[in-house]
């Protein structure tokens, strides 16, 4: 209960504050008979070309769940095939053999209120990881398909 309240307060404070402008001191005139040094310029970094495919654009590649830890998976976004974030991983559910069996997906709501958590079997998601180690899960399920599932209650 405290976490959503603090998040709401922080968001309100962020919205209420404005940006402060800073003035840069004017450059001094060069001494007579000398020329001013050329200002240093830095070429902007070239962005990677976009293909319209979020997996390629963000350099994600498929990875086996056995290569990931629960810490890497919990909190990861679950995206639709089009790249829309539709849920996040709330928990990893283990089977009797101690291996990952499903993931608990949290979706819906606003600032933690009104969200639902449902189970997704491992064959309903694909684990993806990029060069920086970020993990996302990709699914062909839609947000509407998640709404029809029974709620998962952590025991």
Question: From first to last of its 155 residues, what are the pLDDT tens digits of the chain?
Answer: 445 544 555 545 545 544 444 455 555 565 666 666 555 555 555 555 555 677 888 889 999 999 999 999 999 999 998 899 999 999 999 989 988 999 999 987 666 566 788 999 999 999 999 999 999 999 998 888 888 888 888 77
pTM of the model: 0.63
Domain membership of residue 149 as a residue range: 63-155
Q: What is the pLDDT of residue 53?
A: 77
Of 151, 142, 135, give the one whose Cα is nearest residue 59.
135
Asked if residue 72 belongs to a domain, the reply is yes
Return d(Cα 145, Cα 139) in angstroms, integer: 11
Number of structural domains found in the chain: 1
Return d(Cα 65, Cα 128) in angstroms, integer: 9
Q: What is the pLDDT of residue 25?
A: 56
Neighbours of 135 (CB within 10 A): 21
Asked if residue 55 belongs to a domain, the reply is no
Asked if residue 58 belongs to a domain, the reply is no
Task: Look up tokens 């309903």; give the residue.
Answer: 124
Asked if residue 109 belongs to a domain, the reply is yes
Asked if residue 148 belongs to a domain, the reply is yes
Q: What is the pLDDT of residue 153?
A: 80
Q: What is the pLDDT of residue 79?
A: 92
CATH number for the domain spanning 137: value is 2.30.30.240
Q: What is the pLDDT of residue 20?
A: 43
Task: Look up tokens 């709501």; give the residue.
Answer: 109
Q: What is the pLDDT of residue 12?
A: 53
Residue 139 and residue 79 in contact, taking contact as beta carbons nearer than 8 Å: yes
Asked if residue 111 belongs to a domain, the reply is yes
Q: What is the pLDDT of residue 123?
A: 92
Q: What is the pLDDT of residue 114?
A: 67
Q: What is the pLDDT of residue 19?
A: 44
Sorted by sequence, the CB contacts under 8 Å of residue 61 that are 6+ apart come out as 128, 129, 130
Asked if residue 33 belongs to a domain, the reply is no
Q: What is the pLDDT of residue 21?
A: 46
Of 82, 81, 78, 155, give the one whose Cα is nearest residue 122.
78
Task: Look up tokens 């899960």; give the residue.
Answer: 137
Asked if residue 126 belongs to a domain, the reply is yes
Residue 105: exposed, middle, or buried by beta-carbon count in 10 A (0-12, 13-18, 19+)? buried
Q: What is the pLDDT of residue 1?
A: 47
């Amino acid at each position: 209960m405290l976490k959503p309240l603090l998040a709401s307060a922080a968001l309100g404070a962020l919205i209420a504050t404005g940006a402060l402008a800073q003035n840069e001191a004017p450059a001094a005139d060069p001494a007579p008979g000398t020329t001013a040094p050329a200002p240093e310029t830095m070429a902007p970094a070239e962005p990677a070309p976009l293909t319209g495919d979020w997996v390629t654009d963000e350099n994600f590649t498929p990875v086996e769940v056995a290569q990931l830890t629960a810490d890497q998976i919990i909190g990861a976004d679950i995206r639709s095939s089009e790249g829309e974030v539709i849920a996040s991983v709330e928990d990893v559910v283990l089977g009797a053999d101690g291996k990952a069996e499903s993931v608990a997906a949290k979706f819906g709501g606003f600032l933690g209120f009104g969200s639902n958590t449902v189970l997704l079997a491992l064959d309903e998601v694909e684990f993806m990881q990029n060069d920086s180690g970020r993990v996302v899960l990709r699914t062909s399920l839609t947000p509407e398909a998640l709404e029809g599932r029974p709620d998962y209650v952590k025991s």
